[in-house]
Structure 1
């Protein structure tokens, strides 16, 4: 059961997400609900969150997600209760609009961009200070970083020269997964990982290239592919 203000705030957030994909600011919510301070907005947000109607996305500024609509289609109004002479009771109803879950379009995070990585022969992996804005929907849990792809040895896997590989940081992977492999401690490459006869094989996805075979102590998995970003010019 929602109070009138809780319902108004939920409706306002939902409307703004549908119109622009961006959550309203606390100042905008305060003005829309004619509240005297932002502390009132905080209390309403917390109440809606506790009841499971919205979710605050961690480490994102102004990022709220509407999870569900009210269980019933009416909310109580304090004004109607006062008209009945009972300050402690809530009477009267107002119709609640249909509310659909919306994933906000401003759910974007910055991840480190560490230079270029070969999708052909191994090249040195560069550690840069740049970052890349990435839609969070492309990433799962865990720590991620990005590498710009150089070369064409993974084209049959849909990975092209100039793409940005989104990599989940890990030191383990299963056979058949696309990984960032550090070779002999100094060169990195993006390949399918295979293990056979006590050796590590890094397979390209291009018939023009041969697999690369190394001893198990020569290859260190530094991450596995989580997604791709591509720019069109």
Structure 2
């Protein structure tokens, strides 16, 4: 079931697509829903995307497609059967025609995500949460809630992650083997490493031959997010 704001946003997106063939910008959505920041828009879009109401078209920061409306989610069995048989709804026909009639234009939408500080030994993520924010192009972020960390040190340079880079992290407490994660060890120190599991232990692997892997009991390690992207500033 959608919240009032989610319902309002999907209606606004659909109306704009029907009128112009172009999905609204984050700024336009923020103003239409009377939200304080674009981060709120990003959270609403991510929630709608995860629930299957909309999808982002690849490689286009401003391209959104409405897959179903709230009414279609609770439609009659006959309508659901038609959908499962591949019969498109009138609303989807209209939206699809509008998108096809005019290709979405690129946009430089920027989101402000929390910048928690430098990821270094000795400080849990929670201890430095909310210090400041970092402007990030919306195209770099997929679904979910994100935060940023400034990388300290050279333990991940062979993975292309350098001292001073900004790691864009998607919040999650689970990850697959081989993914780069933010791991909180013993509730005391946070580190950015490859996650691997073997023989009932958790191994945090660096990407630098000068450093050794760190091996812990599963109860010692808490995943706080996984790497979604990087920002690098050149001076």
Per the normalisation by structure 1, the TM-score is 0.61
Q: Distance in 2 between matches of 1:46 and 1:176?
A: 39
> How big is the shift at 1:52?
7.0
Q: Distance in 2 between matches of 1:47 and 1:228?
A: 34
Change (3 A) 1:57 1:48: closer
> How big is the shift at 1:186?
1.4
Is 1:219–2:218 an aligned residue pair?
A: no
Is 1:55–2:23 an aligned residue pair?
A: yes
1:162 maps to 164
Change (3 A) 1:52 1:176: farther
> Which structure would you say has the larger Rg?
1
1:150 maps to 152
- SS of residue paired to 2:155: coil
Q: Where does the alignment leave 5 or more consecutive residues of structure 1 unmatched?
A: 1-44, 69-97
Per the normalisation by structure 2, the TM-score is 0.60
2:191 maps to 189
> How big is the shift at 1:66?
7.0
The answer on whether the counterparts of 1:117 and 1:123 sit within 8 Å (CA) in structure 2 is no
> How big is the shift at 1:133?
0.3
Q: What's the C-alpha RMSD, in Å, of the aligned pairs?
A: 2.8
Which protein has the bigger strand share?
1
- SS of residue paired to 1:56: coil
Is 1:124–2:127 an aligned residue pair?
A: no
Q: Where does the alignment leave 5 or more consecutive residues of structure 2 unmatched?
A: 1-12, 32-37, 39-60, 66-100
> How big is the shift at 1:123?
3.5
Q: Distance in 2 between matches of 1:194 and 1:174?
A: 8
Q: Distance in 2 between matches of 1:190 and 1:215?
A: 17
Task: Give the 5 Å matches for 1:35-74.
Answer: 47-50=15-18, 53-58=21-26, 61=30, 65=62
> How big is the shift at 1:124?
1.5
Alignment length (residue pairs):
157
The answer on whether the counterparts of 1:52 and 1:67 sit within 8 Å (CA) in structure 2 is no
- SS of residue paired to 1:141: coil
Q: Distance in 2 between matches of 1:46 and 1:203?
A: 45
Q: 1:104 aligns with which of 68, 93, 107?
A: 107
- SS of residue paired to 1:55: coil
Task: Give the 5 Å matches for 1:2-17.
Answer: none
Q: Distance in 1 between matches of 2:199 and 2:63?
A: 52
Change (3 A) 1:211 1:99: same
